[in-house]
A and B are shown apart, each in its own frame.
Chain A
Amino acid sequence: DVKVTQSSRYLVKRTGEKVFLECVQDMDHENMFWYRQDPGLGLRLIYFSYDVKMKEKGDIPEGYSVSREKKERFSLILESASTNQTSMYLCASSLKTGGLETQYFGPGTRLLVL
């Protein structure tokens, strides 16, 4: 079974703090993704990575950065957290095959920025 884990299930931070969200997958997947989920908006892609040290902006990258130093780990960084970044953050991974491969998700991190 594919396993995607995220470092925290719940996180509370103050405005202006630097926040690290960690994601680890154990299935040797090439592709990794960070989404945020907000009510009524579904999931929106923040960043994705298709290889170590490679990253691509998704649909809403502003205010975020990412790091992929190892294949199994993909980190999302909020350089200076703001209240509008309060959200559910979901990490996913997938194989790099024909392009229509299934993504497998972690349990999510609920971030509250005060």
Chain B
Amino acid sequence: AQKITQTQPGMFVQEKEAVTLDCTYDTSDPSYGLFWYKQPSSGEMIFLIYQGSYDQQNATEGRYSLNFQKARKSANLVISASQLGDSAMYFCAMRGYTGGFKTIFGAGTRLFVKA
């Protein structure tokens, strides 16, 4: 069975510092995709970054990067130079080819950025 685990219910970070949000996954699929979403208090889920299991390099999108360690089955999100607007809920998600169209989500990590 596929599973996503986010062990940090909440995190604090000082403005302008970097922060790492943890995500581990479990799947028997040989090919899968990993996603991170941001959910501000407004409720909308915003796609941040994607990593394919066969991608040789870690994905980066602006201040977001994904620290992908395939052997450890981890896909941590790194946010550099945190901003107050980064305060939100962050969800790690995964989809495997054998899972069809189903994406499974972790429980989420709430990030608080302090001024």
Contacts and interface: CB of A to CB of B under 8 A. Distances in A.
Contact of B107 (A42, A45, A88): A42
B89 to A, nearest CB: 9
A95 to B, nearest CB: 11
Contacts, number: 64
Given A100-B95, A108-B43, A108-B44, A42 B106 contact: yes
A18 to B, nearest CB: 24
A43 B52 contact: no
Contacts of A45: 102-103
A100 B101 contact: no
A105 B50 contact: no
B103 A103 contact: yes
Nearest to B53: A100
A106 B47 CA distance: 11
Contacts of A99: 95, 97, 100-101
* Chain A to chain B: the 7 pairs with minimum beta-carbon distance, closest first: A105-B45, A100-B33, A108-B43, A42-B105, A43-B105, A107-B44, A42-B107
A40 B44 contact: no
B101 A102 contact: no
Interface string B52-93: 100000000000000000000000000000000000000101
